[in-house]
Structure 1
Amino acid sequence: MKNLRSILMPLAIVLGILLPQAHVLSPMMPFLIGSMMFLTFVTKIPPQTHGYTFKIEARAFVASLVLIAALWGIVELFGLPREVLLGGAIIALCPPANAAPAMAKMLGGSASLALKIFLSGNLLACFSIPVFFGYLTGADASLSEIAMKIFNTIQPIISIPLAFALGLRAFYPELADRAAKFQKYTMFIWTFSVFVIISKASFDIREMGFTDLWNSGKLPMMAGVSLVLCILLFWLGWFCERKRRPIEGSQSMGQKNTTLVIWVSTLYAGPVVALAPTCYVIWQNLVLTWMSREKTRERMLRGQEKKNP
């Protein structure tokens, strides 16, 4: 499955760039996100140390707010376009990705802990994104109005799959166990989602004019801020939890549910802002590919040491 991911993800990105016509599939995004949410939520969660999940998520949330404040200061200091702040903010506020538990397990961490962080992070995002992103984007409306609009957009995608998964787990546990077996196939839904996302971005760039976006500096700035945030978030997740759970911290803070925030930023901030989390998809998968290769190389070295003590 790991080798298949390393093949499918670059293929999805390349095809998305070459086939902008596939942007017509964008209305499927809420259903794709909801499907991935359900398959992750329905997974049976083993018990973990009480309160530790909250501490990890609280540190991640505080770190995200600090990054937004720092980015806001840089934008104001250097007179950068407002889109840079909005693009960076939506990345920082983005909850953990569905694939974070599987990746944490592959790297030698606890999949169950990463899953609990995923659950709490996505529930927190239901409120944090509407409030903070709504405040940054709501120039023409009151905070309560724009926050409620964003909340009404996000919460059904998270709450409905969660309620359905918890109901199935409570009343029909056997069916829930069967559904949970399909969780590993979320990779294929995620790959298809990436294809649609990149295709939509490719279409938007062509519509807005690649040369105009590049000459204005907005496209390179969006790519640059997403790259810096990607490296920072993975590193901060490791640094904040380095004494106890560095793998889970890194994956939970760095690996983002970009499909959700790309959709939200497109609706409420425009296609230019959506370029930032779209670029993050590319940087994120490059980082994850590097991590998986490093882990594979480490295992191979250990195997050689055992054979040649």
Structure 2
Amino acid sequence: MKNLRAILMPVAILLGILIPQAHVLSPMMPFLIGTMMFLTFVTKIPPQTHGYTFKIEIRALVVSLLLVAALAGIVKLFDLPREVLLGGAIIALCPPANAAPAMAKMLGGSASLALKIFLSGNLIACFSIPIVFGYLTGADASLSEISMKIFNTIQPIISIPLAFALGLRAFYPELADRAAKFQKYTMFVWTFSVFVILAKASYDIREMGFWDLWNSGKLPMMAGISLLLCILLYALGWYVERNRRPIESAQSMGQKNTTLVIWISTLYAGPVVALAPTCYVVWQNLVLSYLSARIKTKDSNPE
């Protein structure tokens, strides 16, 4: 599965860039996100130390809010386009990815802890994204109005799969166990989502004019801020839990549910802002490929 992921993801990225016509599939994104959510939520979670998951996720939230505040200061200080702040903020606030538990296990961490972090992180995002991102984008509406709009968009994508998964687990555990066996195929849904996301981004860039975006500085700035945040989030995640759970913490902060926030940013901030989390998809997968290669090298060269 590890080797297959290493092949499929670069292919999905390349095809997405080269086939902008596939942007017509973008209305499928809520369904794809919901499918990934359900397959992850339905997995049976073993008991663990009470409160530890919450501690990791609260740290991640605090780091995210500090990064948003720092970004706001930098944008104001250097008079940068507002899109830089919005693009960076949506990345920082983004919850952990569906693939984070599988990736944590692959890197030698605890899949069950990463799964708990995923659950709590996505539930927190139901409220943190509408409030913070709503505040940043709501120039033409009140905070409560824009926040409620974003909340009503984001919460069904998370709460409906969660309710369905918990209901299945509570009343039909055998069916839930069968459904959980398909969790490993989340990778394929995620790969297809990346293909659609990049096809949509490729189409939008062509429509807006690649050279216009480049010469205006917006495209390089979006790519740059997403790269900086990717490195920072993985490094900070590793550092704050370096003595206990560095792998799970790094995945919780660094491996983002980009499909969700690209969709949200496109709806409420426009295609230019959506370029930041789209670029993050590329950087994130380069980091994951590097980490996977390191693990593979260690396994093949034991001391």
Please give the range of the TM-score, normalised by the shorter of the 2 chains. Answer: over 0.9
The one-character-per-residue Cα deviations of 1:134-189 (angstroms, maximum 9, x if unpaired) are 00000000000000000000000000000000000000000000000000000000
Matches of 2:188 and 2:218, distance apart in 1: 31
Cross-structure match for 2:285: 285
Calculate the TM-score normalised by the size of structure 1. 0.98
**Structure 2, unpaired ranges of 5+:** none
In the TM superposition, residue 301 of structure 1 has moved relative to its aligned partner by 1.5
Q: After the TM superposition, which residues 61-140 of structure 1 pair with which residues of structure 2 at under 5 Å, given as runs? A: 61-140=61-140
Cross-structure match for 1:220: 220
- Aligned-pair identity in percent equals 85
In the TM superposition, residue 285 of structure 1 has moved relative to its aligned partner by 0.1
The one-character-per-residue Cα deviations of 1:24-78 (angstroms, maximum 9, x if unpaired) are 0000000000000000000000001000000000000000011111111110000
Question: What amino acid sits opposite 1:75 in the alignment?
Answer: V
Tell me if 1:54 matches 2:43. Answer: no
Matches of 1:252 and 1:59, distance apart in 2: 10
Aligned length: 303
Matches of 1:292 and 1:22, distance apart in 2: 29
**Structure 1, unpaired ranges of 5+:** none
Cross-structure match for 1:4: 4
Matches of 1:296 and 1:26, distance apart in 2: 35
Counterpart of 2:301 in 1: which secondary structure?
helix
In the TM superposition, residue 123 of structure 1 has moved relative to its aligned partner by 0.2
In the TM superposition, residue 262 of structure 1 has moved relative to its aligned partner by 0.0
Tell me if 1:193 matches 2:193. Answer: yes
Cross-structure match for 2:235: 235
Cross-structure match for 1:271: 271
Question: What amino acid sits opposite 2:215 in the alignment?
Answer: N
Counterpart of 1:132 in 2: which secondary structure?
helix
Cross-structure match for 2:210: 210
Cross-structure match for 1:175: 175
Matches of 2:26 and 2:106, distance apart in 1: 31
Question: What amino acid sits opposite 1:257 in the alignment?
Answer: N
Calculate the TM-score normalised by the size of structure 2. 1.00
Matches of 2:61 and 2:12, distance apart in 1: 30
In the TM superposition, residue 219 of structure 1 has moved relative to its aligned partner by 0.0
Counterpart of 1:38 in 2: which secondary structure?
helix
Question: What amino acid sits opposite 1:222 in the alignment?
Answer: M
Matches of 1:232 and 1:260, distance apart in 2: 21
